[in-house]
Amino acid sequence: MLKVCAYITMLIDHIGLCFFPEAMWMRAIGRVSAPIFAYGIAVGYWHTMQKGTEMRYLKRIGLFAVVSQIPYVMMTQNPLQVSIGGTFFLSLLLLIAMNRAPLVAGVSLWPLVAALILAAATVLHVDGGAMAVLMVLQCFCFIVRPGYKWWGWTACVPLHIAWAFIYSPPQPIYILAALAYPIICLMRPYDRKVVLSKRVSYAIYPVHMAIFGVARLLLCT
């Protein structure tokens, strides 16, 4: 159910981006999709970590990022930015490093590794930047991990307030992404009622972007 909600809001956002750039309400609706996808990545990591297959999951997301990049450039017409697939690949690296980072003199190197990953997110211009990478981490820490409390989502809100104002000029629309967290918590008990196959889930993102990219090109010629 959550995936369906994420895909619907994402499609509304991308329709606005490509065909109705003045319709900011469509972009506003789309802000909800990223935290829901981030939550899904965090859940996927938790399940694969329990099975010891998190590296296989990392490779799958890496392949997804590579496959999605050309359609992403086609749709956004921005060859200098990396798609959200790259963002989530770095997010998974961050989570894996949190549990696997070596110790030096009894001190974990995870903060150093985390800083390097966040720097890479900035240098590579991944979609959403370092803030989007941290979004997966906060979903894992405050919502997915055992010991979760229903109010854990409130700890995720400050990141989105900060996210809105690190831009120049500020982008208050990003605060709307925080609305995703109560949606996640309310829909979480029913999340398995509607299940998409893995192949469909992975295909929707690059396929719709390729279609939108071609349509956008045809409309401009």
Instruction: Give residue-wise pLDDT tens across range 150-176.
Output: 666 777 788 778 777 876 577 777 788
Q: Where does the pLDDT of residue 102 fall: very low under 50, low under 70, confident under 90, or very high at 90 and above?
A: confident
Mean residue pLDDT across the chain: 87
Q: What is the pTM of this model?
A: 0.90
CA distance 133 to 92: 9
pLDDT in tens, 66-93: 999 999 999 999 999 999 999 999 999 9
Res. 45 pLDDT band, cuts 50 70 90: very high
Interior/surface letters 119-128, b for 16+ CB within 10 angstroms, e for the rest: eebeeeebbb
Which of 35, 26, 9, 23 is CA-nearest to residue 177? 35
CA distances from residue 137 to 127, 213, 220 in whole angstroms, order as listed: 16, 31, 39
Whether 160 and 174 have beta carbons less than 8 Å apart is answered as yes
